[in-house]
């Protein structure tokens, strides 16, 4: 490999310094304030459904808002599980398994003082799933609609009970509800029915309130002292989110005391951070950094030999070294420890000789390379060190006869391309996207990518993959209410996805953070959802 880690990190350059490195205002010095350098170029949407991917939920999702069904985020030594949120219980109707009944939590109030109830839940479904609703918000709908593929209809049963009907029997439907956050109808009315005004003065039921928003710079979150869950009362009085998309800038800000906590430190600066007294925090994370290949008629990746060659050409240990150990080689969508891994026949490994053989069989070589173009992110949460990693993989491919040109775009542009699919306007000149994927449950790890009914823009089967056997495996799993049988079927789905090399698998994220010695707490869950109430 001709490119070194240091050369690639240097090649990414330094972004301009964020506009809001300043310490907390003098009047607030008595507060317990934590300044958090985040890897995003802008503060995610604050209206109820964050943009900028799953990683954004920790910033303007589960801070300001709550879901009906929540994820256990206060444990680090094992995977979390579904727990009650704004719904205290949920169950599928035995007489019609498509109907799910959610019993809502009594006594919860929005930040504006209005009451949470079934009317608010119905209003929020209308907000993102009914384009004819007067308060429908396309920006929020674009984020959450692909996350709720099973929802067919919803209705209020009584003041504190809601029924949601799915399009078909779906035993794992509650996982979809993790992504559906509840904002205040009363605040929307109070602000003149303006989502633009609501973005600056949002109202949810969450553990934090938004005190100040400076687009593309910072957001200040203050503790909601009246939060309904005593276990999630924030330990900090105020958290200031500071946009710092460049890893080196972000890491240096921690070293110089401009921020107290960062995500994804620059790997080359990890030794210096440790020497300064900073803690490096990482954990098992259901998240894979990969390339999703187009399978449209004109795509070279319809040839399985090329898909396998692209996988075999990559030195994953080299990518981990580039990350200074803050990653793990990926040999599938999920880690081998997952109950859905199964026993794939195609072994993902670094085998450039076999990659060259497959390419030669398909008519390509280093002298006559396969030439194509991928869309990738310049950076952002979940993308790790996007450009250095892409450039490292690009060099691996070049050495075997795959010449990939990158189209680097801002993260939300990449997500828009992803939601449009390989046949969308933004993918017109590319044959793969580089969105890194959350793999925390069967829907997120497998179903949304490989079922034909999830083909974009309906879902996020970006590649337009269609296979009757795959559909049958998934449909059977979704109609099964025995968890062990669901796991067995999902393992078969994963085996098929790996054996057909439907993605190019690179590494699993360990979601590294760095904390100054000022920060005493923080529980890093084994998920992309994280709980900022644990920061102390």
Q: Provide the 8-state DSSP code for 59.
A: I
Q: Provide the 8-state DSSP code for 187.
A: H
Which helix (H) or strand (E) covers residue 97, if one does? Answer: strand 96-104
* Angle between helix 352-361 and 304-312 (nearest 10): 160
Structure confidence at residue 3 (pLDDT): 43
Structure confidence at residue 1 (pLDDT): 43
The predicted-structure confidence for 337-351, as pLDDT tens digits, reads as follows 899 999 999 999 999
How is 438-490 classified by DSSP, letter by letter?
E-SSHIIIIIHHH-GGGBTTTSSBTT----HHHHHHHHHHHT---HHHHHHHH
* pTM of structure: 0.86
Structure confidence at residue 278 (pLDDT): 97
Which helix (H) or strand (E) covers residue 510, if one does? Answer: none
Question: Maximum distance among all alpha carbons in the chain?
Answer: 70
Taking alpha carbons only, the member of 464, 439, 438 closest to residue 451 is 464
Structure confidence at residue 164 (pLDDT): 98
Structure confidence at residue 29 (pLDDT): 56
Structure confidence at residue 385 (pLDDT): 86
* Angle between helix 483-499 and 468-478 (nearest 10): 160
Residue found by looking up tokens 């994370």 in the block: 285
10 Å CB burial of residue 31 (0-12, 13-18, 19+) is middle
pLDDT in tens, the chain (536 residues): 444 444 344 433 333 344 444 444 444 458 899 999 999 999 999 999 999 988 899 999 999 999 999 999 999 998 889 999 999 999 999 999 999 999 999 999 999 999 999 999 999 999 999 999 999 999 999 999 989 999 999 999 999 999 999 999 999 999 999 999 999 999 999 999 999 999 999 999 999 999 999 999 999 999 999 999 999 999 999 999 999 999 999 999 999 999 999 999 999 999 999 999 999 999 988 999 999 999 999 999 999 999 999 999 999 999 999 998 989 999 999 999 899 999 999 999 999 999 999 999 999 999 999 999 999 999 876 788 899 999 999 999 999 999 999 999 999 999 999 999 999 999 999 999 999 999 999 999 999 999 999 999 989 999 999 999 999 999 999 999 999 999 999 999 999 999 999 999 999 989 999 999 999 889 999 998 999 999 99
For 154, 204, 216, 284, 495, the CA distances from 112, given in Å and listed in that order, are 25, 8, 26, 38, 49
Structure confidence at residue 14 (pLDDT): 34
Taking alpha carbons only, the member of 450, 179, 451 closest to residue 333 is 450
Structure confidence at residue 381 (pLDDT): 67
């Amino acid at each position: 490999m001709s490119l070194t880690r240091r050369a690639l990190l240097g090649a990414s350059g330094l972004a301009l310094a964020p506009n809001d490195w300043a310490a907390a205002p003098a009047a607030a010095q008595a507060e317990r304030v934590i300044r958090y350098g985040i890897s995003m170029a802008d503060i995610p949407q604050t209206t109820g459904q964050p943009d900028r991917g799953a990683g954004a939920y920790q910033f303007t999702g589960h801070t300001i808002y709550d879901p009906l069904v929540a994820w256990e985020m206060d444990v680090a030594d094992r995977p979390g599980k579904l727990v009650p949120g704004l719904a205290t219980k949920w169950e599928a109707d035995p007489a019609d398994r498509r109907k799910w009944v959610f019993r809502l939590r009594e006594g919860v109030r929005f930040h504006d003082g209005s009451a949470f109830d079934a009317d608010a839940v119905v209003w929020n479904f209308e907000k993102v799933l009914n384009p004819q609703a007067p308060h429908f918000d396309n920006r929020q709908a674009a984020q959450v609609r692909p996350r709720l593929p099973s929802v067919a209809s919803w209705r209020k049963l009584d003041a504190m009970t809601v029924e949601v009907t799915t399009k078909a029997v779906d035993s794992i439907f509650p996982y979809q509800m993790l992504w559906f956050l509840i904002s205040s109808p009363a605040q929307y009315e109070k602000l003149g029915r303006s989502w633009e005004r609501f973005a600056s003065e949002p109202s949810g039921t969450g553990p934090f309130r938004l005190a100040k928003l400076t687009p593309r710079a910072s957001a200040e979150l203050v503790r909601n002292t009246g939060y309904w869950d005593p276990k999630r009362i924030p330990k900090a009085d105020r958290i200031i989110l500071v946009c710092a998309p460049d890893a080196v800038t972000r890491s240096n800000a921690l070293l110089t005391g401009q921020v107290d906590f960062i995500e994804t430190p620059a790997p080359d600066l990890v030794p210096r951070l440790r020497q300064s007294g900073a803690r490096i925090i990482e954990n098992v994370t259901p998240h894979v950094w990969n390339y999703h290949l187009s399978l449209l008629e004109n795509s070279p990746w319809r040839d399985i030999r090329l898909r396998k060659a692209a996988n075999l050409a990559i030195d994953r240990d080299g990518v981990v070294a580039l990350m200074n150990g803050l990653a793990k080689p990926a040999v599938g969508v999920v880690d081998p420890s997952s109950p859905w891994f199964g026993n794939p026949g195609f072994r993902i490994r670094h085998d450039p000789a076999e990659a060259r053989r497959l390419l030669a069989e398909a008519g390509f070589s280093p002298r006559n390379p396969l030439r194509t173009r991928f869309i990738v992110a310049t950076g952002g949460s979940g993308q790790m060190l996007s450009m250095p990693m892409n450039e490292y993989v690009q060099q691996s491919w070049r050495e075997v006869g795959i010449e990939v040109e990158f189209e680097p775009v801002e993260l939300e542009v990449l997500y828009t391309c992803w939601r449009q699919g390989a046949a969308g306007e933004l993918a017109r000149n590319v044959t793969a996207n580089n969105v890194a994927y959350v793999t925390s449950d069967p829907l997120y790890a497998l179903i949304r990518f490989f079922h034909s009914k999830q083909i974009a823009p309906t879902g996020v089967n970006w590649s337009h993959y269609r296979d009757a056997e795959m559909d049958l495996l998934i449909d059977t799993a979704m109609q099964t209410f025995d968890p062990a049988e669901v796991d067995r079927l999902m393992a078969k789905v994963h085996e098929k996805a790996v054996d057909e090399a439907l993605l190019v698998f690179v590494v699993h994220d360990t979601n590294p953070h760095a904390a100054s010695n000022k920060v005493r707490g923080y529980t890093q869950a084994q998920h992309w959802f994280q709980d900022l109430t644990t920061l102390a």
